[in-house]
Amino acid sequence: MKEFNSKKELLTYAEQAETLTFGEIDKSSRLDNKKLKGGLGQIIEESFFGYEINSNKEADFKNLGVELKVTPIKELKSGLISAKERLVLNIINYELEYLKTFETSSFWFKNSELLIMFYLWRTDWNRSDYPIIKSILHTFSEEDLLIIKQDWETIIEKIKAGKAHELSEGDTNYLGAVTKGSSSKSTRIQPFNNTPAKQRAFSLKQSYMTALVRDSITEKDLQKATSLKIRKKRTKKRSPVVKDINVLKQKKFDDYVIDLFNSYKNRTREELVRHFNIVNNKANQAKQINYLIAQKILGVGGSSNEIHAKEFEKANIVAKTVELKEGKVPDENLKVCEINTFEEVTQVVWEDSLLYDKLLSTRYLFIIFDRLSDESVVLKGAKFWSLPVTDLNQIVKQTWEEEKEKFKEGVQLTYKKSSNKKGFIVSNNLVKESDKKIIHIRPSAGEAQYCPPFKNENNIYMNNARRLPAPAKWINRPENLKKELQDNWMTKQAFWLNKSYIFNQIKKL
C-alpha cells in the first residue's frame, strides 16, 4: 500500500487519476466480473492506491483520518450535472451506536474527512469507459455539520425508542439511514424492540451530494476528462433559510423553520400581503400568493409554485402550500412523480421503482392555510412530513404491485359518450382516489391522447401519450375511432398522493 505523509500529498496523488478510465486503472481484471457490486470503488482501492479490500472500522487512510469514496455523477437533460446516487458510508450497529455521542460515533470516527473521487456515468457506456472527473478532500462546513449532527441525533432517538425498524431517509435532512445488504431481508437485532430491523448504513443523501457535485466540478473538469462535449449548466445560488449559523447551535433546523411560520400563525392572507409588501396583481392566483407569503416568511426566493432554499435543495425538502376548507380536506391531491414510460413500472421491482425512491427520500414541508366561512384565509402553520415506512412498504407497495400487473396484462380502457368537445371520454381500471389506497394514478397531461405523437390541425405537436407495455383491452370503442384510440398508447400518467390522506397527516397541526 502506498503511504502518504500529508493530506495534500494524498490529494495530489488522487488527482493523477483524473481523466483516466476504469479500464486504464484496473490491474486485477475486476471489470471482467459484471456482477461485482462495488467493483469500481474496489478498483481504485486495489489498483490505484494498492491496498487490500477491507471493511475496517477505521478510515481507509488511518494515519490521516481520511476515508476514500468513489461515486458517480450523471448529466441531466436540462444540462445540469447531478450525483447519480446517495453516498453510502458505514453500517449502523444499532446495539452500539446509541451508546455514543456524535463526537465518538462510528459515523464521525470513519467519515469526518472524505477523499471523494467522482466519475462520469452514462447508461450507454461500458464500465471500463467511465472516466474519473475530479478528486476532492471534503470536510463538512460548520453549517452542514450542525445539521448533520441533528440528523444523527434523530436516528439515534429512533433507535432508543425501539423504532429502528421504522427508520427512513425521510426522517432527516442531509445524513440518512439507507438500507444496506444483499437483499431487503438483511436484518439486524435492535436493542429496545424484538422486531428485527433492516440493516442500514449512514449515508449522505443524493440531494446533498448533488449540491456538492455542482459546487466542486467545473465545466473545465468535465471537458478535460472526456473528449465528448458536456454542457455544465450554471445553477442559481439559493438563499439559505438560516442566515446566522449560531441559530443551529440553539435549536434544530426543523424547529427553527416551524417557529418562523408560527410567528405569523392565525394572521389572514390579506394582513400578510400588506405586511410583506407583496404586489397582489390580478395575474396572481390565491395559490401563488400563498407561495409568495411562504417565501417571505422563510427569507428565500422561488416561483409561483415552488420555494427555493439552499437547505431544502440539499435535503430534498419539497415545500407545498395546502389550503384547507374550514379545517376540512383540501381541494388538491399531491403529485409525487410522473410515469415517464410505463416500463419504469413494469420492468423493475418495487425497491428499484421511481415511486419508492421519491416517497422514501423526499421530505415535505406542508405550509397550511385555511379558508374560513367568511372567505378569509388564515395561516395555520407548517409541518415537516415524510411518508411512514409502514405505509410505504405495505399499502403503497401492494397498490404499486397491483398496478404493475395491470400494465403488464393490458390496461382496461372504456369508451363513453360525452357532451365535451371530443364527444367522448375514456376511463380506465387503474387505481383511483376513491379506492382510498393512499396513492392513485391519473393523467398528467393537458389533453387526453391515445395515439402516437402527431401535429394537430393547428400545427401543434401533440405528445401527451406514452406507449403501453401490453395492448390495452378496449370496451365499447367505435370502429371509426381505432386510429385515434389505439391499442398501444395511453395518455401519460402520474402517481398522486390522495388529498384525504394528506389531510389526515396534517389535521392535528
**Model confidence over 327-374: pLDDT tens digits?**
999 999 999 999 999 999 999 999 999 999 999 999 999 999 999 999
pLDDT(443) > 60: yes
Cα–Cα distance measured from residue 82 to residue 65, given in angstroms and rounded to the nearest whole number: 27
Q: Is there a single domain that holds both residue 335 and residue 443?
A: no
Cα–Cα distance measured from residue 392 to residue 187, given in angstroms and rounded to the nearest whole number: 18
Residue that finishes a domain, picked among 333, 353, 386: 386
Q: Is there a single domain that holds both residue 417 and residue 338?
A: no
Cα–Cα distance measured from residue 439 to residue 356, given in angstroms and rounded to the nearest whole number: 12
Q: Per the structure block, which three cell numbers stand in for 277?
A: 409588501
Span 379-389, average pLDDT: 96
Cα–Cα distance measured from residue 397 to residue 455, given in angstroms and rounded to the nearest whole number: 38
Strand partners, 280: none
Q: Is there a single domain that holds both residue 352 and residue 283?
A: yes
- Establish if 175 belongs to a structural domain: no
Sign of the dihedral defined by the CA atoms of residues 288, 293, 297, 299, in that order: positive
Sequence length of the chain is 509
Q: Is there a single domain that holds both residue 363 and residue 423?
A: no
pLDDT(145) > 90: yes
**Enclosing H/E stretch for 106:** helix 106-111
- pTM for this predicted structure: 0.91
Cα–Cα distance measured from residue 479 to residue 497, given in angstroms and rounded to the nearest whole number: 36
Q: For the purposes of burial, counting CB atoms within 10 Å of the CB of 8, is it exposed (0-12), middle (13-18) or buried (19 or more)?
A: exposed
Q: What is the 3-state secondary structure (H, E, C) of 195-254?
A: EEEECEEEEECHHHHHHHHHHHCCHHHHHHHCCCCCCCCCCCCCCCCCCCHHHHHCCCHH
Q: Is there a single domain that holds both residue 286 and residue 330?
A: yes
- Contact yes or no for 495/439 (Cβ under 8 A): yes
Span 404-429, average pLDDT: 96
Our count of domains for the chain comes to: 3
Span 188-209, average pLDDT: 96
Strand partners, 69: 116
Q: What is the pLDDT of residue 280?
A: 73
- Establish if 195 belongs to a structural domain: no
Give the pLDDT band (50/70/90) at residue 88. very high
- Establish if 164 belongs to a structural domain: no
Q: What is the pLDDT of residue 79?
A: 80
Q: Is there a single domain that holds both residue 377 and residue 485?
A: no
Residue that finishes a domain, picked among 361, 386, 411: 386
In this structure, what CATH number is given to the domain that contains residue 331? Answer: 3.40.600.10
Q: Which domain holds residue 411?
A: 399-496
Span 413-424, average pLDDT: 94
Cα–Cα distance measured from residue 62 to residue 15, given in angstroms and rounded to the nearest whole number: 20
pLDDT(39) > 90: no
pLDDT(76) > 90: no
Residue that finishes a domain, picked among 192, 225, 258: 225
- Establish if 42 belongs to a structural domain: yes
What b/e readout covers 263-287, taking b as 16+ CB neighbours within 10 angstroms? Answer: ebeeeebeebbeeeebeeeeeeeee
Distance, CA of 229 to chain centre: 28
- Contact yes or no for 152/171 (Cβ under 8 A): no
- Establish if 36 belongs to a structural domain: yes
Q: What is the overall mean pLDDT for the chain?
A: 93
Q: Per the structure block, which three cell numbers stand in for 506?
A: 396534517
> Of the candidates 475, 499, 164, 74, which has an alpha carbon nearest to the alpha carbon of residue 329?
499
Q: Per the structure block, which three cell numbers stand in for 481?
A: 375511432
Q: What is the dihedral of CA 376, 380, 386, 387, to 10 degrees?
A: -60
Q: Is there a single domain that holds both residue 468 and residue 333?
A: no
Q: What is the pLDDT of residue 233?
A: 57
Q: Is there a single domain that holds both residue 353 and residue 428?
A: no
Q: Is there a single domain that holds both residue 359 and residue 448?
A: no
Q: Is there a single domain that holds both residue 454 and residue 371?
A: no
Give the pLDDT band (50/70/90) at residue 184. low
Q: What is the pLDDT of residue 222?
A: 87
Query: Left (φ > 0), alpha (ψ -120 to 50) or beta: where does 79 sit?
Result: left
Q: What is the pLDDT of residue 183?
A: 61
- Establish if 504 belongs to a structural domain: no
Give the pLDDT band (50/70/90) at residue 167. very high
Spell out the alpha helix ranges (H) of 141-200.
Answer: 142-160
Give the pLDDT band (50/70/90) at residue 36. low
Helix axes 142-160, 253-262, angle to 10 degrees: 100
> Of the candidates 431, 434, 447, which has an alpha carbon nearest to the alpha carbon of residue 355?
431
Question: What does each C-alpha distance from 166 to 116, 154, 425 come to in angstroms?
Answer: 30, 12, 43
What are φ and ψ of residue 444, in 5° steps? -130, 55
Q: Is there a single domain that holds both residue 211 and residue 284?
A: no
- Establish if 285 belongs to a structural domain: yes
Give the pLDDT band (50/70/90) at residue 226. confident
Helix axes 397-409, 354-361, angle to 10 degrees: 160
Q: Is there a single domain that holds both residue 214 and residue 290?
A: no
pLDDT digits (tens, 9 = 90+) for 387-414: 999 999 999 999 999 999 999 999 999 9
244: CB partners within 8 A, 6+ apart = none
pLDDT(42) > 80: yes
CB atoms within 10 A of CB 289: 20
Strand, coil or helix: 387:
coil
- Establish if 491 belongs to a structural domain: yes
